[in-house]
Structure 1
Amino acid sequence: MAPHPAHPTQDVVTSRREGSVFVITIDHPPVNALGVAVRQGLMAAIEAAEQDPEVQAVLVLGAGRHFIAGADIREFGKPPQPPLLTDVCNRIEACTKPVVAAVQGSALGGGLEVVLAAHYRLALPGAKFALPEVTLGLLPGAGGTQRAPRLMGVEAALDLMLDGKPIGARQAQALGLVDRWVDGTDPVQAGLAYARELAASGAPVRPTRDLRIAVADMPAASQALDAARASLNKKYRGLFSPARIIDAVQAVLDRPFDEGLRLERDYFRQCLDTPQRQALIHTFFAEREAAKVPEAGRAQPRPLDRVGIVGGGTMGAGIAVAMLDAGLPVTMIERDEPSLERGRANVAKVYDSLVKRGRLDAAERDRRLGMWSGATDYQALADADLVVEAVFEDMAVKSAVFAELDRACKPGAVLASNTSYLDIDQLAKTVSRPQDVIGLHFFSPANIMKLLEIVVPDQVADDVVATGFALARRLKKVAVRAGVCDGFIGNRILAVYRLAADYMLADGASPYQIDQAVRGFGFPMGPFQVADLAGGDIGWAARKRRAPTRDPNLRYVPIADRLCERGWFGQKTGRGWYLYPEGGRAGQEDPEVLAIMDEERRKAGAAPRAFTQEDIMRRYMAAMINEAANVVHQGIALRPLDVDVAMLYGFGFPRYRGGPLHYADHVGLDVVLADIRAFAAEDPHFWKPSPLLVELVEQGRHFNDLNQSKQG
């Protein structure tokens, strides 16, 4: 039969009749995002199906690899154009002929709301379903909060909306989200077969709004809502939208569907106006923009099939796991066989833990470990495309490793250092091929932490930088370009705001007050908890290394040194800033630490004063923002957004605050500068306003004004 005449939006939504089935195909590459043309096309196509007397069922599917992977990000922040997705979903649900959604690939956000509005749902292998609006400070705003509980029950729907993570086809069927899971690869044929079956059997329309699964067991539904509310402060502290999601789901039990839809829309508008939503949208775009760097715009990455790692300690093993997880064979080099065996054991320990927790099966563990090989001779790296050095943080040790790599590695191999602080330019000068040397600063644990700082020395080739960013994508990490300086972006800023915390210790605050204030701001841990987790000996070694070049005008607070001199290095020794009895991970306050602090204050002649949580955070954030501004001013970071991404993904800065420089824009740069100048009256050597911060305030501009891409 001839295809049904195409409607005006045929470029993104097409329709045709296959016998008695009206097939609507969304074709809006790359992910069939729900832009205005798609919404218009869906509305028109459903109307056309409704009016065709020969149509007995309607099939909606996506062209390419996805069904609909969410909203069109190009419309973020713009006034919505009609039709609203709510109206489209209502029209699909009101169709008098059965509507089938056949899902391949992703049905995310608004895409899943379209699926929920259909009368019947079919999933193919690889289908993924999610309502991730909570990660952007929003809630499903096209009926998702009202339809999902009616279809799959309150508890499962709350989990889907509050977690925001995707579930697969089989799980979706088990939860009642889809009616059928089919083993096939062609959504058109699978969808047509299901639609024809429904038409032949006279299957009725089945509006989701009329389903009563949510209220079938009211005590269980109420218990799920109570449990979700009880978890708000612990799991979603500082976020606005999770509470509104719970309120919207409550309406499923208490109100008619249309009234619930109106409430959902009101809550959605409330979320739109929150600082959290603005910060989360900034984070969403900043993560994507950070990958746009001049070098990647000028060159293609080098081939990347085999990887070498020098060093099998905690960091080297974590990097190895990250590579193996990405399907890259790894050759590990250690100085002798016992060290090599410990390196392999460190890698195996990670996988054994995953198997024990049910995150990986034993066969997959063995397959990944099978891609690992080890050697004590650098010649084993002769075929490696990239080698990451992960040895002790000492320039002499790393230079010796690079001399071996220079000798053993093939021409064009990328030579990378995982240094956290050391001068990559100096390291590059120790080899005959400085154009191949780059910094790849992983954060511990390297197989888990998302941030990868790609440190760009002066002589590196563009295609090596492009290779670094390609590797990050393959490892599913968020990459940030950093220039060469002590600590690069993240650790350089950390050193300054940690120093501000130490000064507050010297002036009367306790580490426990400071950690509590920082957690209250939204960080998962305070700076002294972090120090105990990382190991106090690491910071102690760095302080001793920097001692000869320390600014004599800056105060030096020796309290941390006093703890380290006693062997109190944190969790690994059972004692640091906190006590960890019997190897526990939850620290307890230590009166002896407070006594040591009092003694050091007496020696310094300091008169302790009280700090409120607001006092603490104003100093902590002012120090962080000021040094972040210096990092941008000096070109260590290309743009303010690169700093925000580094702090969000490497240092636990709360996502709903958008990163330190987005947060500064929100607070007001004039307010931050006024704080810094006020603190400078007490300590002018530490509190020196960044020239960039001063310039922006004088010009009435914001950090966000500097966030234009510098892609070449």
Structure 2
Amino acid sequence: MSQVVGYELRGNIGVITVDNPPVNALGKDVRAGLVAALEQGLADDGAKALVLVGAGRTFIAGADIREFGKPPAEPSLPDVITRYDEADKPVVAALHGTALGGGLEVALGCHYRVAVPGTKVGLPEVKLGLLPGAGGTQRLPRLVGAQKALELIVSGEFVAAPKAAELGIVDEVIEAESPLEAGLQFAEKVTSEKRPLKRVRDQEEKVAADRGNEALFDEFRKGLEKKARNLFSPFKIVDAVKAAVDLPFDEGMQRERELFRECLESPQRAGLVHAFFAERQIGKIPGLAADAKSREIKHVGIIGAGTMGGGIAMNFVNVGIPVTLLEVKQEALDRGLAVIRRNYENSAKKGRLTQAQVEQRMELIRPSLDYGDFADVDLVIEAVFENMDVKKQIFGKLDEVCKPGAVLASNTSTLSIDEIASATKRPEDVVGMHFFSPANVMKLLENVRGEKTSDEVIATVMSVGKKIKKVPVLVGNCYGFVGNRMLHKRGAEAMTLVNEGASPAEADSVLTGLGFPMGQFAMSDLAGIDVGYLIRQERRKAGEDVPASWMDKLYEAGRLGQKTQAGVYRYEEGSRKPIPDPEVDKLIEEFRKEQGITPREISKDELLERQMYIMINEGAKILEEGIAIRASDIDVVWIYGYGFPAYRGGPMFWADQVGLDKILDRVKEFHARFGDAWKPAPLLERLVREGKKFGDL
């Protein structure tokens, strides 16, 4: 008998317990144990019914990620589920915690399902570029109908127990001391009432109702063309659910396996699995003291009630942490609070919040014009514009008013954390917390360690990042850190390409073709032309040789991007769609003449290579300097902060797929043509020389 799955008799009910901490993942030992325990229960004359339950904090949270990429081991999960499905005694799955992916598929193979309150179920395989391959696409439609099954499987959405009961995914939600107690109660009812074996595979009513309804699937595919236009597995999920509707169960299962294998062999699956693991690596910080404890954050101060400050404040009040929001003028404070309220009111209109929740969150924000109100905060985040002198003045004040042990953070996107910290007598408490706009939506949080930032403060900002539902990545201190350092290299190259003859729309189209939601120039319009202008001005003040730019002329003309409906592109009222503008073409043409540039036609390949390969080369330098801990950390930064398509795994993973030797050859060519901006990173050269990839580091 397997050690990870046990069997015992409780009265006249046989209990099968999966005990494979931490999440009862369905590794080969668990699968073998499930079969062995089932056989023992079926052979036990004292057992009138069986209950399947998970030990610990959850039922079965899905596949064992340690088996990803390895050859499949027997018994397969579909075979295990078939054995449960065909059992001649009632089998009740007693759910708690999460029943996800293969875990829910196992439950769907049982004859009955009960759940305790707080349980969540779902089939999230789409997030790994897969589809449920053990009957999920065949059984779920039989319980909820094709439309709802498509919505749930394509979104990977988790469903709370009450909703799962309403949909028919679980038979009952039972208030009980434990999931085992809930399962035993229900099993006793099944045996006493002599209920029949209720096999999901035999429930045809819902799928029969959808049979012949081609419009349902056509409409769903049309919707996917917008929402998932570059993705592979969502469309295969539609095919699999259609098979559940059109084919007998066994044939549908066969079709599901064929489609599952197609997804498994797709490059997108490799990219999404890499992204999945990369996100789980970010919390592992080499060299961080083992006893570094996170400080308790009960009250947060935020300086600046503009777009960034207001968005940052929302993150904290959303999880119940009160915020003191400071501005220098009352009208700026009132304006910022009005924007926050409007955001919450819009969420309430869409049914995401109740009006009571809106008021509750607004009450957690204390407006202030006085730095003295920061005396008791545990964390303060400065979110004013990118000007070093202003930031140093602010941190000098914080040093005076904040209590000992308060974490002092800057939301700077480019400036030196060490220089900001020099304005205080406690540089060990100073750290960067770089949120991304809009801060209440974007998931990335770049936590920037300064030279003297303490391990305790690092542990705190990583912990609080998770608490406010961000993806926190620890990076080192340099101009632009990881994301913006690479972005600005790409931005400079995109500018050069336009100067040489490409249009902004041509330069952007190769990036959207790769899967980015927008290109470099559309992103500039979204962020605000003024943001880039102020950064360039700061660099010029610092003595850097920042070349003249036609983007400066946009700023001078008041074309600040989407906020003014005109930037690099123009925008129609209420629309974010960038429209090429002849006025900008004319401005660029004039700039080329001023600079003595004769425009040329540039191929799509060159447009893509120059924008992407300069990023990869810079990423290699970032790794070499220790600014990023791992190549996969850079991938996480770009997926969650800049919209790099997760199905391509991030820029460094993508580079490994393209081939570092091919990239280096082009980098060397561009170095010869365009100078030191293209100087090959020594790490890139070394990896090519040794036949290695970024993923091997």
Pair 1:701 & 2:692 matched: yes
Once the two structures are superposed, the pairs formed by residues 197-596 of structure 1 within 5 Å of their partners are: 197-218=189-210, 221-294=213-286, 296-298=288-290, 299-548=292-541, 556=547, 558-596=549-587
Aligned-pair CA distance for 1:455: 0.5
For normalisation by structure 1, the TM-score amounts to 0.94
1:295–1:466 contact (8 Å) kept in structure 2: no
Aligned to 2:673, the other structure's residue is in SS state coil
Show the counterpart of 1:15. Answer: 7
**Does the 8 Å contact 1:320/1:330 carry over to 2?**
yes
Aligned to 1:5: none
Q: Which residue of 1 aligns with 2:78?
A: 86
Give 1:411 deviation, angstroms. 1.0
Q: Distance in 2 between matches of 1:115 and 1:152?
A: 15
Cα displacement (A) at 1:220: 6.9
Alpha-carbon distance between aligned partners in 2 of 1:55 and 1:582, rounded to the nearest angstrom? 69
Unaligned runs of 5+ in 2: none
- Counterpart pick for 1:619 among 595, 610, 625: 610
2: CA distance, partners of 1:165 / 1:46:
30
SS for the counterpart of 1:217 is: helix
Shift of 1:257: 2.0
Would you say how many aligned residue pairs link Structure 1 and Structure 2? 696
The CA deviation string for residues 447-475 of structure 1, in whole angstroms up to 9 with x for no partner, is: 21111111011111111111111111111
CA distance 1:245–1:303, change in 2 (3 Å): same
Q: 1:219 to 1:42 in 2, by over 3 A?
A: closer
Q: Distance in 1 between matches of 2:250 and 2:163?
A: 29
- The whole-number CA distance in structure 2 between the counterparts of 1:614 and 1:237 is 22
- Partner of 2:585, secondary structure, is helix
TM-score, length of structure 2 as denominator length: 0.96
**2:146 and 2:210 in contact (8 A); partners too:** no
Select 2:676's aligned residue among 685, 697, 700: 685
Tell me how far 1:162 sits from its aligned partner: 0.8
What letter matches 2:321 in structure 1?
A: L
- Report how far residue 221 of structure 1 moved: 4.6
Q: Is 1:71 aligned to 2:63, yes or no?
A: yes
Deviation larger for 434-443 or 151-160:
151-160
| Cα distance change on mapping 1:251 and 1:583 into 2, 3 Å | closer
Q: Is the 8 Å Cα contact of residues 639 and 645 (structure 2) preserved in structure 1?
A: yes
Q: Aligned partner of 1:175: which letter? A: L
> In 1, distance between residues paired with 2:502 and 2:596?
16
| 1:512–1:364 Cα change, 3 Å | same
SS in 2 for 1:582: coil
Secondary structure of 1:230's aligned partner: helix
2:666 counterpart of 1:675: yes
**RMSD of aligned residue pairs (Cα, Å):** 1.8
Equivalent of residue 643 in structure 1, options 630, 634, 650: 634
CA distance in 2, matches of 1:45, 1:250: 34
Distance 1:213 1:669 in 2: 54
**Which of 94-103 and 232-241 deviates more?**
232-241
Secondary structure at 1:487 match in 2: coil
Q: Give the C-alpha shift of residue 295 in structure 1.
A: 5.3
Contact 2:501-2:602 within 8 A present in 1 as well: yes
Residues 516 and 696 from structure 1, CA distance in 2 versus in 1: closer, same or farther, beyond 3 angstroms?
Answer: same
Letter in 2 for 1:269: R
1:25 aligned counterpart, secondary structure = strand
Which deviates the most, 320-329 or 20-29? 20-29
- For residue 256 of structure 1, report the CA deviation from its aligned partner: 2.6
CA contact (8 A) 2:436 2:445 kept: yes
Q: Percent identity?
A: 48
Deviation at 1:70, TM superposition (A): 1.0
Distance 1:549 1:382, change over 3 A: closer
> What amino acid is aligned across from residue 106 of structure 2 in structure 1?
V
What pairs with 1:84-163 in structure 2 (closer than 5 Å)? Answer: 84-163=76-155
Q: What is the deviation of 1:219? A: 5.2
Q: Which amino acid aligns with 1:83?
A: P
Q: Name the CA distance, whole Å, in 1 between partners of 2:87 and 2:378.
A: 57
Identify the residue that residue 28 of structure 1 maps to in structure 2. Answer: 20
Matched letter for residue 687 of structure 2:
L
Secondary structure of 1:476 counterpart: coil
CA distance in 2, matches of 1:89, 1:513: 52
Segment of structure 1 superposing worse, 172-181 or 216-225? 216-225
Cα 1:296/1:354, change in 2 over 3 Å? farther
Please state whether the residue corresponding to 1:316 is helix, strand or coil.
helix
Q: Deviations over 1:483-514 (max 9, x none)?
A: 11111110110000111111111122111122
Contact 2:109 2:200 in 1 (8 A): yes
